[in-house]
Amino acid sequence: MNEKNNKPYYLVVGVLVAVAVVACLIYLTNAPQTPGTKTPEDRPLGNIIEGNGTVVEETVLTPDFTRPLAFADTVDAEVRTFLQGKFDGLQETLKGNSTDFNAWVALGTLRKTAGDYAGAAEDWDYIARLYPNSTIPFDNLGDLYMNFIKNYPQAEANFKASLVFNPGNIHAYQQLFALYTTYGYKTDTTAAADLVAAGLAKNPGNATLLQMQQELQTAN
């Protein structure tokens, strides 16, 4: 089999791995099975507080999950067929339960893999608002904005939101640290040092955070 024919195979394997990782994350973080809410103070992307202190429940509009996959020109035909099959299966799930957490996370993953970044962001933003106790949509959005859309302020906002709901989410600290150092966002500020300090306050003695602290001290 030549290199050209190998390409679709490896892309399909990559998609399968991505879906498996999503499923694993959902299991490990004990994703909620029913929609919920938090207080506005704990939910930066959620409810709106009016000037008089009244809490106004945000209207969460459901994206059109039946909207066909939009493929980038670089996506091979075999990969498109694979993604379309997964998409068709999710349609049946969401028609039966339009607030299914796992299905919306997976749908966003399919759209991202197809090259529809705006569609993926819409799906994950919706599920983040509907299930505010889960860090998975925020982590996914952070990665999407940091590594694909290259919108660093949005990446930062989503990883920070993830840490609001789970201060022990070391992955989010790692991504923010990379954003402030490797990606060069806010390099002329104390953002990286402040992040590590806040992380260690919530997770004393964590080896990953201590390593970040050491890296900053060495760089200075």
Percent of the chain predicted with pLDDT > 70: 73
**Residue 62's Cα: distance from chain center in Å?**
18
Angle between helices 170-180 and 191-202 (to 10 degrees): 170
Residue 80, CB-side half-sphere exposure with 13 Å CA sphere: 12
In a domain, 98, yes or no: yes
Q: Is the pLDDT of residue 74 over 50?
A: yes
Compute CA distances 134 → 16, 64, 102, whole Å.
Answer: 23, 22, 11
Q: Name the residue among 201, 135, 190 with its Cα closest to residue 164.
A: 135
The predicted model scores a pTM of: 0.77
Identify whether 116 is part of a domain: yes
Average pLDDT over residues 47-66: 58
Do the domain assignments include residue 111?
Answer: yes
Task: Tell me if 216 is assigned to some domain.
Answer: no
Query: Per-residue pLDDT tens for 79-114?
Result: 999 999 999 999 999 999 999 999 999 999 999 999
Q: How many domains does the chain have?
A: 1
Round the average pLDDT of the chain to a whole number and report it. Answer: 81
> Which of helix, strand or coil describes residue 48?
strand
Q: What is the pLDDT of residue 220?
A: 77
Q: What is the mean pLDDT of residues 117-135?
A: 93
Rg, C-alpha atoms of the chain: 19
Q: Domain residues for 14?
A: 3-131
Three-state DSSP at 59 gives coil
| Residue 42 reports pLDDT greater than 60 | no
Q: Domain for residue 209, yes or no?
A: no
What proportion of the chain, given as a percentage, has pLDDT over 90? 68
Specify if 14 maps to a domain: yes
Split at pLDDT 50, 70, 90, the class of 33 is very low
Please report which confidence band the pLDDT of residue 219 belongs to, taking 50, 70 and 90 as the band edges.
Answer: confident
Residue 218 maps to a domain: no
Closest CA to 147 of 170, 125, 179, 173: 179
